[in-house]
């Protein structure tokens, strides 16, 4: 069974410490992957548009036609 993924917003301090925006409770230790979004101060570094487009893109990604188009890359499906 594949792992369950859960996204949690966090802030990484200059010293490397991580502060979660909300409390996270786990039944046992879990692996995590951290992606750091460094703001260069330019408007292009603003990732809010990417977050806003995520829902509309998901509608396309989850269509049956998309699954068929990419099926050759998913052996065993």
Whether residue 26 lies inside any domain: the answer is yes
Any domain includes 20: yes
Q: Report pLDDT digits (tens) over 41-74.
A: 655 556 667 777 777 777 777 888 888 888 888 7
Domain with 57, as residue range(s), is: 10-70
> How many independent structural domains does the chain possess?
1
Specify if 49 maps to a domain.
Answer: yes
Residue 5 in domain: no
Does residue 16 lie within any of the structural domains? yes
pTM of the model: 0.42
Determine the Cα–Cα distance for residues 48 and 53; give it in Å rounded to an integer.
Answer: 9
Cβ 10 vs Cβ 21: under 8 Å: yes
pLDDT, mean of residues 30-34: 89
SS (HEC) of the chain = CCCCCCCCCEEECCCCCEEECCCCCCCCCCCCCCCCCCCCCCHHHCCHHHHHHHHHHHHHHCCHHHHHHHHHHCCCC
């Amino acid at each position: 069974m594949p792992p369950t993924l859960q996204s949690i917003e966090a802030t990484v301090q200059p010293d490397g410490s991580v502060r979660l925006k909300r409390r996270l409770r786990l039944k046992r230790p879990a692996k995590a992957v951290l992606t750091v979004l460094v703001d260069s101060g330019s408007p292009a570094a603003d990732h809010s548009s990417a977050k806003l487009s995520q829902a509309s893109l998901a509608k396309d990604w989850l269509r049956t036609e998309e699954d068929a188009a990419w099926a050759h890359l998913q052996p065993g499906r």
